[in-house]
């Protein structure tokens, strides 16, 4: 039987509608959640993402500010901008779009953001809080979105074997920590596989929940999936396609056509994990605003 197709687009719309209600309540109490996005340089893909984030924030009733620094801005200028946003009471969440240019040290940038405003969840303090099981920490948006999709489609990972393919700081590692947490969306038995895993299929075939974030098309084929498994495809890869006007199409890391005949549920690309990431950024911004209000009262 063909798999249920998990629509990230629909779930994200639902999450955003719920958030709008929460933002209205906060606003009525005099607290408008605020998000600042910072971008260095003019990379078109980064500008597109940051623009989308800003528009989504406004649509949810969140105050949004975009700071654009020139590509040759110094590290000190960027750190100064972050310091200003850390001190600004209208701003509850700060996101510096990555990657930053080579002359700026990414680690220093992540450390400069106030951990309470770190809506990306990339600050080492928040990484540590997540891996020690803190339940109120700000967590990276993409893995948080994957958990939300699993829960909202009846694919609770609790008690199941979850296999994460990929070990990046943005997706693979925090994903594994979330699946392991003693919390809704957690309580799974977790295995992390990666590009150096021997016999990847032997590992992925054990997965009841399979999350793939390795950045290579067709990494997971139908023979590597347990029948009935829930498959979350985090990959975003451009491949040449002369039949398309723009000359390429976007695919994930999973052979969608083959795997959907074996899996119980699967996310498409596009329209799966992607829309959830922005919804979770808004969710983190609201969470940060609520936490900061609680801390100051
Ligand atoms: N660049 C690609 N993905 C992300 C993300 O999730 N957050 C930030 N800040 N930059 C990114």
CATH of the domain at 47: 3.40.50.10860
**What domain range is 264 assigned to?**
140-274
Question: CB of 141 closer than 6 A to ligand 1?
Answer: yes
Residue 285: inside a domain: no
Residue whose C-alpha is closest to residue 134's, from 162, 169, 174, 163: 174
SS3 of the chain: helix, strand, coil, percent, to 5:
40, 15, 40
Asked if residue 132 is part of any domain, the answer here is no
- Residue 40's nearest CA partner among 76, 66, 64, 68 is 68
Residues 163 and 260 in one domain: yes
Q: Is 158 a member of any domain?
A: yes
> To the nearest 10°, the Cα dihedral for 225, 226, 232, 235?
-10
89 and 152, same domain (yes or no): no
Strands (E), the chain: 4-5, 34-40, 63-69, 93-96, 161-165, 189-193, 209-212, 230-233, 237-240, 248-251, 265-266
Q: Are residues 34 and 91 in the same domain?
A: yes
Whether residue 178 is found in the same domain as residue 259: yes
Looking only at the bridges linking them, the beta strands covering 237-240 and 248-251 are antiparallel
Q: Best substitution site from 50, 53, 95, 122 to test ligand 1's pocket, by max atoms within 8 Å of Cβ? A: 95
Q: In terms of domains, do 150 and 241 share one?
A: yes
Q: How many domains does the chain have?
A: 2
In a domain, 242, yes or no: yes
Q: pTM of the predicted model, to two decimals?
A: 0.97
Ligand 1 atom index nearest CA of 99:
1
> Do 149 and 263 fall within a single domain?
yes
Asked whether residue 100 falls in the same domain as residue 38, the answer is yes
CB 6 within 8 A of CB 211: no
The two tokens of residue 179 are 């699946």
Domain membership of residue 15 (yes or no) is no
Cis peptide before 40 (omega within 30 of 0): no
74-108 tens-digit pLDDT: 999 999 999 999 999 999 999 999 999 999 999 99
* Ligand 1, pocket-test mutation among 49, 66, 146, 279, most atoms within 8 A of CB: 49
**Is 154 among the domain residues?**
yes
pLDDT score at 141: 98
In a domain? residue 227: yes
Token pair in block for residue 91: 């701003």
| CATH code for position 160 | 3.40.50.720
- On whether both 195 and 69 belong to a single domain, the answer is no
Give the orientation angle of helix 141-152 with respect to helix 8-28, to 10 degrees: 110
Per-residue pLDDT reduced to its tens digit, 176-210 = 999 999 999 999 999 999 999 999 999 999 999 99
The atom number, within ligand 1, closest to the CA of 281 reads 6
Q: Based on the domain organization, do 50 and 99 belong to the same domain? A: yes
pLDDT in tens, 244-294: 999 999 999 999 999 999 999 999 999 999 999 999 999 999 999 999 988
73 CA distance to ligand 1 centroid (A)? 19
Q: How confident is the model at residue 297 (pLDDT cuts 50, 70, 90)?
A: confident
């Amino acid at each position: 039987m063909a798999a249920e197709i998990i629509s990230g687009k629909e779930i994200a719309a639902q999450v955003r509608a719920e958030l709008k209600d929460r933002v209205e309540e906060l606003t009525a109490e005099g607290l408008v959640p605020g998000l600042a996005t910072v971008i260095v340089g003019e990379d078109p893909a980064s500008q597109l993402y940051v623009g989308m984030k800003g528009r989504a924030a406004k649509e949810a009733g969140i105050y949004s500010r975009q700071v654009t620094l020139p590509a040759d801005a110094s590290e000190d200028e960027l750190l100064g901008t972050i310091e200003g946003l850390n001190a600004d009471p209208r701003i509850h969440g700060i996101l510096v779009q990555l990657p930053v240019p080579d002359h700026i040290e990414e680690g220093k940038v992540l450390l400069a953001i106030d951990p309470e405003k770190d809506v990306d969840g990339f600050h080492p303090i928040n990484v540590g809080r997540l891996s020690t099981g803190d339940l109120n920490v700000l967590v990276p948006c993409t893995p948080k979105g994957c958990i939300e999709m699993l829960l909202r489609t009846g694919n609770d990972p609790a008690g199941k074997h979850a296999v994460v393919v990929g070990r990046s700081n943005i997706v693979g590692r925090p994903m594994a920590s979330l699946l392991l947490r003693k919390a809704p969306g957690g309580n799974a038995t977790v295995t992390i596989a990666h590009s150096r895993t021997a016999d990847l299929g032997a590992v992925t075939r054990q997965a009841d929940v399979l999350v793939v974030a390795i950045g290579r098309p067709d990494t997971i084929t139908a023979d590597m999936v347990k029948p009935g498994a829930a498959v979350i495809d985090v990959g975003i890869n451009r491949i040449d396609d002369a039949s398309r006007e723009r000359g390429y199409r976007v695919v994930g890391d999973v052979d969608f056509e083959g795997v959907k005949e074996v899996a119980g549920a699967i996310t498409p690309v596009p329209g799966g994990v992607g829309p959830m990431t922005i919804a979770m950024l808004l969710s983190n911004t609201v969470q940060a605003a609520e936490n900061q209000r609680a801390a100051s009262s």
